[in-house]
């Protein structure tokens, strides 16, 4: 059954954007003067309404000024919203990996926009590891790791010598570097831009709530000192998976995944469902010259912890507890995010139009955009990797390698 499910999920993820491109090409792509195109300085990427709403309360920004219908967006969120002069736009991509990748591809393929100089900012809520940060904090990622892209054995059937049910593709035990790579395992973003964004966001007065304040005090272990402080702005990497995981043990597992897959540089901190998909879409559009991968910011505010506090079960923490973090986290997307957006707008002529040169490797595990990843298996040609993936897949199913 697993193979069938796998095939289905791949089919959905690959066929939808393909069909979409055909629709866009046939229905929408009419030659236009580039002057007709909207060329935003910044695009804010939300996943669902509570993340988007705080931005629309800003009457000066006025994101309601232009509503632009784009074929291929989520049926729930069929329009891009832009300011009067088009210098800032907002997209709600929908939740989960498939929605994020498909909606972003629809936007970047649309002839209504020129996004070659645009800064993209993912602005969403996330879970946070209490060892790394706290409720309502504002976090900017350098690495996005697709931690759910591996084998899973249900906890009740884990072998005695395994400490987790998660095993990288192409390996036989937990904790190994994957030899089978699908290409979206790890994304690395510009650290120079991440630092500038943190600098802008630090100028924001962050929201908090009494309830969040009381709740974070319950994380009173020696290793969770970061959880009991008030909301702050910091660097913090993201882990992606459509499965909304929760708990100490699974968090520890994925902390290991992030560490192994980024070759020790990335640190597990935030959990969410879209960033790798959004980044894969932007990566392919960057390869096509439609966007610039050095102009991407991932900002996630913490709406909840990714595990229980001492004395609480994982199920209670996930399903019944109310941490008070959701409302201030959504508000802080705007409060910190508008500082970043305005920083880019105000510094446009001086710095941002030209671009911020990245000092670190940026891109995916294959080096698709050029350069050499500081993570990944090292030099392997795409042809070799395809062969490895086929062989690994056949080995897993006991089929003789041809
Ligand atoms: C990352 O770690 C793996 C496993 O130890 C190793 O094979 C690979 O060469 C490393 N990659 C880089 C870029 O250092
Ligand atoms: C997804 O994004 C997260 C963080 O944004 C990153 O750590 C992860 O490697 C990414 N994975 C994929 C497959 O894009």
Sign of CA dihedral 261, 267, 273, 276: negative
CB 163 within 8 A of CB 174: yes
Ligand 2: which residue has its CA nearest to atom 6? 144
CA 146 to chain centre: 9
The ligand whose atoms approach the alpha carbon of 122 most closely is: 2
145: CA distance to ligand 2 center in Å? 3
Plot region of 96 (φ>0 → left; ψ -120 to 50 → alpha; else → beta):
left
Reduced to 3 states (helix: H, G, I; strand: E, B; else coil), residue 324 is coil
Sign of CA dihedral 291, 83, 233, 314: negative
In the chain, % helix, strand, coil (3-state, to 5) comes to 40, 15, 45
- Residue 378 Cβ inside 6 Å of ligand 1? The answer reads yes
CB 363 within 8 A of CB 145: no
User: For 77-120, how does the pLDDT look when each residue is reduced to its tens digit (9 = 90+)?
Assistant: 999 999 999 999 999 999 888 899 999 999 999 999 999 999 99
275: CA distance to ligand 2 center in Å? 6
- Residue 298 Cβ inside 6 Å of ligand 2? The answer reads yes
For the chain, what is the mean pLDDT? 88
Distance CA 168, CA 150 (A): 5
- Residue 375 Cβ inside 6 Å of ligand 1? The answer reads yes
User: For 21-37, how does the pLDDT look when each residue is reduced to its tens digit (9 = 90+)?
Assistant: 544 443 344 444 456 89
Q: What is the pLDDT of residue 10?
A: 41
Residues of the chain with pLDDT under 50: 1-16, 18-19, 22-33
**Atom number of ligand 1 nearest to Cα 177:** 4
CB 88 within 8 A of CB 345: yes
318: CA distance to ligand 2 center in Å? 23
The ligand whose atoms approach the alpha carbon of 142 most closely is: 2
Q: Which two tokens stand for residue 89?
A: 């736009």
Q: What is the pLDDT of residue 401?
A: 60
Distance CA 169, CA 190 (A): 27
- Residue 239 Cβ inside 6 Å of ligand 2? The answer reads yes
The ligand whose atoms approach the alpha carbon of 371 most closely is: 1
97: CA distance to ligand 2 center in Å? 10
Q: What is the pLDDT of residue 182?
A: 85
Q: What is the pLDDT of residue 275?
A: 66
237: CA distance to ligand 2 center in Å? 9
Strands 42-46 and 119-128: parallel
Ligand 1: which residue has its CA nearest to atom 6? 377
CB 248 within 8 A of CB 317: no
The whole-model pTM stands at: 0.83
Q: What is the DSSP string of 125-164?
A: EEEE-TTT--TT-EEEESEEE-TTSSEE--GGG--TT-S-
367: CA distance to ligand 1 center in Å? 14
């Amino acid at each position: 059954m697993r193979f069938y499910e796998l095939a289905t999920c791949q089919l959905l993820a690959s066929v939808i954007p393909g069909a979409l491109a055909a629709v866009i090409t046939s229905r929408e792509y009419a030659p236009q003067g580039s002057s007709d195109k909207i060329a935003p300085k910044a695009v804010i990427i939300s996943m669902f309404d509570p993340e988007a709403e705080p931005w629309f309360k800003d009457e000066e920004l006025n994101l309601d000024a232009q509503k632009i219908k784009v074929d291929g967006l989520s049926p729930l969120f069929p329009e891009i919203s832009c300011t009067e002069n088009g210098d800032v736009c907002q997209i709600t991509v929908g939740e989960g990996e498939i929605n994020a990748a498909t909606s972003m591809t629809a936007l970047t393929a649309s002839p209504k926009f020129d996004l070659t100089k645009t800064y993209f900012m993912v602005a969403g809520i996330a879970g946070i590891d209490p060892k790394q940060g706290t409720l309502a904090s504002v976090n900017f990622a350098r690495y996005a790791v697709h931690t759910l892209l591996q084998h899973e054995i249900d906890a009740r059937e884990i072998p005695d010598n395994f400490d987790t049910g998660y095993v990288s593709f192409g390996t036989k035990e937990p904790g190994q570097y994957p030899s089978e790579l699908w290409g979206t395992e790890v994304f690395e973003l510009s650290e120079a831009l991440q630092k500038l964004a943190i600098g802008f966001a630090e100028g924001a007065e962050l929201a908090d709530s009494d309830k969040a304040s009381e709740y974070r005090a319950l994380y009173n272990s020696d290793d969770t000192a970061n959880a009991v402080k008030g909301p702050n702005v910091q660097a913090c990497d993201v882990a992606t998976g459509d499965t909304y995981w929760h708990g100490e043990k699974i968090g520890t597992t994925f902390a290991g995944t992030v560490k192994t897959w980024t070759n020790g540089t990335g640190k597990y901190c935030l959990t969410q469902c879209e960033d790798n998909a959004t980044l894969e879409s932007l990566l392919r559009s960057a390869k096509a010259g439609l966007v610039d991968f050095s102009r991407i910011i991932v900002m996630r505010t913490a709406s909840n912890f990714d595990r229980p506090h001492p004395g609480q079960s994982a199920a209670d923490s996930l399903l019944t507890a109310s941490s008070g973090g959701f409302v201030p986290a959504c508000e802080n997307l705007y409060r910190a995010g508008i500082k970043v957006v305005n920083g880019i707008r105000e510094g446009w002529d001086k710095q941002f139009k030209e671009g911020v040169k990245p000092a670190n490797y940026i891109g995916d595990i294959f080096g698709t955009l050029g350069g050499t990843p500081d993570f990944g298996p090292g030099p392997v040609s795409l042809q070799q990797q395809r062969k490895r993936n086929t062989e690994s897949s056949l080995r897993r199913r006991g089929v003789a390698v041809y």
